[in-house]
Amino acid sequence: MDIPGSLRDRKKAATRQSLHEAALRLAMERGLDGVTVEDIADAVGVSRRTFSNYFANKEDAVLHADRERTRELVSLVEGRPAGEGPWPALRAASRELNRAGGTPDREWVAQLRLLRRHPSLLARQAGDQITLERDLAAVLVARGPELDEGTARLMAATFLAALRTGAVLWLESADERPLPELVDDLLGRVHFG
């Protein structure tokens, strides 16, 4: 039986992270089509079978950090104080998540966005966004009976649109503000009530 935080768990997490980082680096260097699962496994010094214990395919390995970040976001919204309204809870969770993640490098993010335009990644990303929207809406509804399912879904979708808009504006503009500050500004412009 594994104990959370055990040496075994930490080694597994480190292997998963190494595979993700290798997949991302190789895909950014060669393009997604120029990378195989074997290339990723070789870069980390593990077998193809070991890779398969962690990820179903190279696309899942590339998107691993995004999926971890979305799980963390949902968890942060769940952990907000009970008396806090739904939109303030989303905004505070975004601030907390961004504070923990630091400010990304613009060039790296631009390269990553190009990579993510690959058709096999786009389909997975769209599915991930739908799941995240649904999960956030469920958390918002669970926070209080005053919020119906439709409003919660609209709120979650608006929240995610503001995050995407902030990232695009940050990449495409001369705005020198850090990305988290820009996103928080956009979230502050939205009012539900």
127 vs 102 pLDDT, higher one = 127
**Residue 73 pLDDT grade (very low, low, confident, very high; cuts 50, 70, 90):** very high
For residue 130, pLDDT beyond 90: yes
At 59 the pLDDT is 92
pLDDT tens-digit series, residues 77-117: 999 998 899 999 999 999 999 887 666 666 567 667 766 77
pLDDT average, residue stretch 104-132: 78
Residue 70's closest CA among 130, 27, 118? 130
pLDDT average, residue stretch 133-139: 96
For the full predicted model, state whether its pTM sits above 0.95: no
At 120 the pLDDT is 84
CA 161 to chain centre: 14
How many whole angstroms separate alpha carbon 193 and alpha carbon 182? 23
At 111 the pLDDT is 63
Q: What's the chain's average pLDDT? A: 88
| Backbone dihedral region for residue 5 (phi beyond 0: left; psi -120 to 50: alpha; all else: beta) | left
pLDDT average, residue stretch 58-87: 92
At 64 the pLDDT is 92
At 23 the pLDDT is 93
Residue 17's closest CA among 60, 53, 65? 65
How many whole angstroms separate alpha carbon 76 and alpha carbon 83? 15
**Residue 2 pLDDT grade (very low, low, confident, very high; cuts 50, 70, 90):** very low
What would the two tokens of residue 141 be? 């509804």
Contact yes or no for 47/89 (Cβ under 8 A):
no
Contact yes or no for 128/82 (Cβ under 8 A):
no
For residue 3, pLDDT beyond 70: no
Residue 183, H or E segment: helix 179-188
3-state SS assignment for residue 65: helix
